[in-house]
């Protein structure tokens, strides 16, 4: 299941979302997360779900790809939802045992949390699927440019974020290989009690950390050999430009915000 995690991958295409400027997609992603908290009833959450589905359709990527990519994170989402349901009280009380309470308000709030987490993951995945790591680096560096006046190493930060995104699929594939090797040696994952399951995870993390540090050292050596010294005095191979489609996308988000504000009152 680890190899199905699609966050951090790039799928080439010629869709409308692919054509958007990377800066527009990053700003839109952060803005989407912010206005998602404006949703407070079924109408507003239905609108956000419809908008997210529309974005998926515009990417030109099969919906099944997103579903398969979310599946490895489903248990984390469900755990958060369960915690929200158990520790949130209000409305009709269905079950009350000690510090845990299951109420109508907790169930509704848990459903909203599930939708919120799912939409954030789907939209973030859509951004990485339709944007190359190089474009993401340029966009992050451009948006962080004002911090240069505060002596913040913007170029290095952008590079680290880009490399981290790029190596997420690689780390997942490496983890899958290590797990298969451990299974070949007789280790069973998911068997036994909690402590036994935690114990079998150790043989995964140790070689994974070792290989990650080795890969990082090789990458640093390769960059040093090629004369990389940050962004000082370097030109851009690809210059980012705002197009009419970027202005249209930002206008759509303005309309979405207005619709959320109106529907919140219903």
Report residue 184's pLDDT band, with 50, 70 and 90 as the boundaries.
confident
Residues 123 and 145 in one domain: no
Residues 115 and 181 in one domain: no
Can you give the residue range of the structural domain that contains 65? Answer: 1-131+240-266
Residues 2 and 123 in one domain: yes
Burial 66-81 (b: 16+ CB within 10 A, else e): beebbebeeeebeeeb
Residue 114: pLDDT above 80?
yes
Residues 165 and 251 in one domain: no
Instruction: Report the distance separating Cα 224 and Cα 146, nearest Å.
Output: 27
Number of domains in the chain: 2
Residues 192 and 83 in one domain: no
Instruction: Report the distance separating Cα 176 and Cα 182, nearest Å.
Output: 10
Report residue 35's pLDDT band, with 50, 70 and 90 as the boundaries.
very high
Beta strand extents in the chain (DSSP E only): 93-97, 100-103
Q: Which of 43-52, 90-99, 218-227 is least confident?
A: 90-99
Residues 79 and 197 in one domain: no
* pLDDT mean over 76-97: 75
Residues 182 and 152 in one domain: yes
Residue 101, strand partner residues: 96
* pLDDT mean over 46-54: 93
Instruction: Report the distance separating Cα 213 and Cα 245, nearest Å.
Output: 41
| CA of residue 54 relative to chain centroid, distance | 18
Instruction: Report the distance separating Cα 194 and Cα 237, nearest Å.
Output: 51
pLDDT in the model for residue 1:
44
pLDDT in the model for residue 6:
60
Residues 103 and 32 in one domain: yes
Give percent of the chain with pLDDT exceeding 90: 15
Residue with tokens 């951004």: 127
pLDDT in the model for residue 128:
84
∠ Cα 189 191 197 (to 5°) = 65
Residues 137 and 80 in one domain: no
Residues 70 and 107 in one domain: yes
Residue 234: phi and psi, rounded to 5, are -100, 145
CB-count exposure of residue 265 (10 Å: 0-12, 13-18, 19+): exposed
Residues 126 and 35 in one domain: yes
How far apart, in Å, are the Cα atoms of 72 and each of 63, 84, 139? 16, 20, 28
Residues 230 and 184 in one domain: yes
Rg of the chain (C-alpha set):
22
The candidate with the shortest Cα–Cα distance to 136, out of 124, 148, 153, 121, is: 124
* pLDDT tens digits, 6-29: 655 778 888 889 889 888 999 999
């Amino acid at each position: 299941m680890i190899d199905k995690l699609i966050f951090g991958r790039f799928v080439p295409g010629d869709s409308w979302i692919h054509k958007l400027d990377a800066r527009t997609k990053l700003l839109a992603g952060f803005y989407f997360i912010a206005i998602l908290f404006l949703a407070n009833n079924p109408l507003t959450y239905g609108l956000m779900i419809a908008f997210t589905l529309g974005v998926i359709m515009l990417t030109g990527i099969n919906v099944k790809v997103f579903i398969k990519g979310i599946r490895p994170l489903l248990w984390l989402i469900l755990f958060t939802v369960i915690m929200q349901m158990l520790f949130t009280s209000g409305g009709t009380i269905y079950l009350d045992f000690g510090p845990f309470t299951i109420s109508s308000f907790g169930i509704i709030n848990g459903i909203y949390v599930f939708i919120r987490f799912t939409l954030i993951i789907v939209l973030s995945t859509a951004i990485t699927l339709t944007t190359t790591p190089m474009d993401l680096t340029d966009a992050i560096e451009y948006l962080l440019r004002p911090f240069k006046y505060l002596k913040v190493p913007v170029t290095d930060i952008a590079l680290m974020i880009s490399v981290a995104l790029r190596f997420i699929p690689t780390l997942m594939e490496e983890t899958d290989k290590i797990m298969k090797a451990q299974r070949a040696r007789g280790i069973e994952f998911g068997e036994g009690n909690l402590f036994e399951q935690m114990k079998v995870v150790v043989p995964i993390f140790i070689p994974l950390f070792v290989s990650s540090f080795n890969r990082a050292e090789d990458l640093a050596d390769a960059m040093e050999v090629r004369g990389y010294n940050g962004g000082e005095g370097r030109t851009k191979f690809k210059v980012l430009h705002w197009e009419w489609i970027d202005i249209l996308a930002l206008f759509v988000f303005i309309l979405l915000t207005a619709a959320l504000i109106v529907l919140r009152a219903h």
